Amino acid sequence: MDYPVALITGAAHRLGARAAETLHRRGWNLVIHYRNREAEARALVARLNQRRPESAICLAADLADPAQLQKLAKQAGEHWQRLDALVNNASVFYPNPTEEATEQDWDRIMGANLKAPFFLLQHCLPALKAARGSVVNLIDIYSEKPLGDHPLYCASKAGLAALTRSWAKDLAPEVRVNGVSPGAILWPDGEAAVDETYQQAILAKTPLARTGNPDDIASAIAYLICDAPFVTGQVLAVDGGRSLNM
């Protein structure tokens, strides 16, 4: 059987991994991109291949490196000789107040969240057009109503939302392009981690009064890729109603 193929960036953990598992259950082959999380990527691929042999691979790439970005697109399209979907999930998130932000912050955040998705799609475009495929960009509700002290992050995600709509016009009818904007699903980790007081303040503004589940995002991605052939240029907020009260 000739299965459709999806490339998901940053798919070794968190939302990217859940999206991979969801698409795999729906009969897709997966290209799992990672940068540093090799052990997690290989473990995910092993689980998927145990369920259906030769249905997943993982590829390492630093998306900030143009040569590696181009190589990733080439390898993803050549492994099964097709590419039906691209999910631009990988991103960088951390605070950087305007007074303290550096050019390095600018390059790091804009590079990961805006430049990499643009050029990765450019390199994947011939294969996506041939498959009449689709793209889903992971955006953020803060692209519309910014989060304090995150001007570069919010600008990068607003730019990705604009690219989503531009691509939907420019690449039609061969390729559909949509976005998913998560609200509070998984709390940030690492340098962007937040305390319980902050978490409770976010939930107080969320009509459904709880965090979402990674499956909520994965299901939205799968819907846009698999079940929405007449949907393009849309950004779907999956946020428990949070964007109503920001």
Range of the domain at 168: 5-244
Residues in the chain: 246
Quote the pLDDT of residue 192: 53
How far, rounded to the nearest angstrom, does the alpha carbon of residue 231 sit from its chain's CA centroid?
Answer: 18
Pick the catalytic residue from 3, 94, 142, 153.
153
Quote the pLDDT of residue 94: 92
Closest CA to 83 of 160, 135, 25, 23: 135
Quote the number of domains for the chain. Answer: 1
pLDDT tens digits along 78-98: 999 999 999 999 999 999 999
pLDDT tens digits along 99-138: 999 999 999 999 999 999 999 999 999 999 999 999 999 9
pTM, rounded to two decimals: 0.94
Produce one character per residue of 203-226: b if its CB has 16 or more CB atoms within 10 Å, e if not: eebbeeeebbebebbbbbbbbbbb
Quote the pLDDT of residue 133: 98
Quote the pLDDT of residue 59: 98
Cα–Cα dist 89/9, whole Å: 5
The CATH number assigned to the domain holding 40 equals 3.40.50.720
Residue 244, both tokens:
């109503």
Quote the pLDDT of residue 191: 54
Among this protein's residues, is 3 annotated catalytic? Answer: no
Q: Among the listed ranges 53-67, 119-133, 198-212, 225-239, which one has the minimum average pLDDT value?
A: 198-212
pLDDT tens digits along 157-204: 999 999 999 999 999 999 999 999 998 776 666 555 556 776 778 788
pLDDT tens digits along 8-52: 999 999 999 999 999 999 999 999 999 999 999 999 999 999 999
Quote the pLDDT of residue 199: 75
